[in-house]
């Protein structure tokens, strides 16, 4: 995996090298976009690198509205306060009209409500899945400025419950991160488990940075569940599972995509994860998704196995396409309004690469619209800025993860309808 250049202290912008084509070198203007992403954690850094990959491709194609794009990146540290402070700096000091981020719903939400919406900045998230964003949009409180390329928590909750049913578990304990995302998915997976006739023996909140999780693990063990469902992040997850195993807990585990992490696997030990099944949203089995995998491997010399990479690619490319469609010096609201022109089902299809961006520029300049065909397929946002997606069940291997089963978008929709 490549690394960022000129790394400064945590919470301070990374200086990112940008590759220029000959045409781009001749340009004398730069437009900044902001990114608040968790680069200090192992699974967050590739998400940011993927966003920069898109920026480099767009710059290769000549930039946006004739200007090179500079992505000013700040580390959220998966901390709401740090994330908000970073977003405020990007908006107030750097003057960005587009913000990429965050990853955790618990960080994205306060950025949205206290920074981007008040400032009229368009916010594109690769990975925040809480249903709270949908509710906020339905109440008219996002002002149409919020978009996410990751499906809501409902998809993973439904698939997680399906895994429990398919494995024949009769009882499951739920352990969830005590933030917007964790509370949302924890509640949803409990509801889905009960809809399948599976007993939820307990739902236990997990807070950040505790020296021990013995009390929480003991509480979850009290109901003697056949399996556990974990919706937490790798650092806390490693500690929780080590406590769980040491106290005699089952190795029957169902993992949210937040634990799709080499750090988690290595810290727990693969020998304890042989019966762990993870869930994640997935790209559809279409040509554009395959093309993303090929281009990612060419850039980074590795498979895009981490969480949110395809979603990060699409969030960034759609944001930059919308900036192109909105015109020079467009404000955040104009950029948000232009998203529909670049994700138009009746528009001219364009590929997710430098050539596709260049083609889109010509079409948009002529007054047309385009259908962006990206890493997660033909992205379509609803009125709340939400998307739906297929899903996968995965397992850990010595070198990463592998897909155990694929669930189509139609199957996901049917599954969610049946449990609702």
389-420 per-position pLDDT tens digit: 899 999 999 988 999 999 998 899 888 888 77
Placement of tokens 């978008």 in the chain: 409
Q: How many CB atoms lie within 10 A of CB 104?
A: 27
| CA-closest candidate to residue 172, choices 182, 184, 186 | 186
Spatial separation of the C-alpha atoms in residues 349 and 362, rounded to whole Å:
13
Question: Strand 348-351 vs strand 401-407: parallel, antiparallel, or unpaired?
Answer: unpaired
Structure tokens belonging to residue 113: 């409500």
191-212 core/surface letters (b: 16 or more CB in 10 A; e: else): bbbeebebebbbbbbbeeeeee
pLDDT tens digits, 219-249:
999 999 999 999 999 999 999 999 999 999 9
Residue 338's SS3 state is helix
CA atoms within 13 A on the CB side of 142: 26
Give the chain's mean pLDDT.
92
Task: Classify domain 22-150+308-378 by CATH architecture.
Answer: 3-Layer(aba) Sandwich (3.40)
Q: What residue spans in the chain does CATH classification 3.40.50.2300 cover?
A: 22-150+308-378, 153-283+390-419
Predicted pLDDT at 307? 86
The string of pLDDT tens digits covering residues 356-395 is: 999 999 999 999 999 999 999 999 899 999 998 899 999 9
φ/ψ (deg, to 5) at 345: -60, -25
Q: Is the pLDDT of residue 22 over 60?
A: no
Q: 3-state DSSP call for residue 400?
A: coil
Nearest to 233 by CA among 41, 14, 5: 41
d(C-alpha 335, C-alpha 333), whole Å: 5
- 3-state DSSP call for residue 375? coil
Mean pLDDT across 134-158: 95
Q: What is the third-level CATH fold of 153-283+390-419?
A: Rossmann fold (3.40.50)
Degrees (nearest 5) of the Cα angle 84, 87, 90? 155
Tens digit of pLDDT for each residue in 288-343?
Answer: 999 999 999 999 999 898 889 999 999 999 999 999 999 999 999 999 999 999 99
């Amino acid at each position: 995996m490549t690394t960022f250049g000129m790394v400064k202290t945590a919470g301070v912008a990374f200086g990112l090298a940008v590759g220029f084509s000959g045409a781009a070198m001749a340009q004398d203007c730069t437009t900044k976009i902001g990114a608040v992403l968790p680069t200090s954690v192992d699974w967050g850094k590739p998400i940011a690198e993927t966003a920069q990959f898109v920026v480099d491709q767009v710059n290769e194609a000549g930039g946006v509205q004739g200007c090179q794009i500079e992505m000013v990146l700040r580390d959220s540290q998966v901390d709401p306060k740090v994330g908000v402070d970073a977003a405020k700096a990007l908006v107030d000091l750097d003057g960005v009209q587009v913000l990429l981020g965050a990853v955790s719903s618990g960080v994205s939400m306060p950025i949205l409500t206290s920074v981007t919406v008040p400032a009229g900045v368009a916010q594109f998230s690769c990975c925040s899945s809480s249903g709270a964003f949908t509710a906020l949009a339905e109440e008219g409180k996002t002002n149409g400025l919020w978009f996410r390329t990751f499906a809501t928590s409902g998809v993973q909750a439904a698939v997680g419950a399906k895994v429990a049913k398919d494995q024949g578990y009769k009882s499951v304990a739920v352990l969830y991160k005590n933030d917007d995302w964790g509370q949302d998915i924890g509640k949803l997976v409990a509801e889905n488990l009960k809809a399948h006739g599976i007993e939820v023996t307990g739902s236990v909140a997990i807070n950040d940075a505790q020296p021990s999780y013995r009390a929480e693990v003991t509480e979850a063990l009290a109901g003697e569940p056949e399996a556990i469902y974990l919706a937490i992040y790798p650092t806390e997850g490693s500690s929780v599972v080590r406590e769980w195993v040491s106290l005699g807990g089952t190795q029957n585990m169902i993992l949210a995509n937040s634990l799709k992490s080499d750090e988690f696997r290595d810290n727990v030990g693969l020998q304890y994860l042989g019966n762990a099944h993870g869930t994640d949203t997935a790209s559809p089995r279409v040509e554009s998704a395959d093309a993303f995998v090929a281009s990612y491997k060419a850039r980074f010399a590795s498979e895009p196995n981490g969480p949110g990479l395809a979603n990060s690619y699409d969030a960034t490319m759609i944001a930059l396409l919308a900036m192109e469609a909105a015109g020079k010096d467009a404000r955040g609201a104009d950029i948000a309004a232009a998203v529909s022109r670049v994700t138009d089902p009746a528009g001219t299809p364009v590929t997710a690469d430098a050539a596709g961006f260049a083609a889109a520029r010509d079409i948009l300049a002529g007054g047309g619209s385009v259908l962006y065909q990206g890493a997660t397929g033909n992205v379509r946002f609803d009125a709340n800025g939400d998307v739906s997606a297929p899903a996968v069940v995965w397992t850990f291997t010595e070198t990463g993860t592998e897909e155990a089963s694929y669930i189509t978008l139609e199957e996901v929709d049917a599954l969610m309808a049946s449990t609702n």
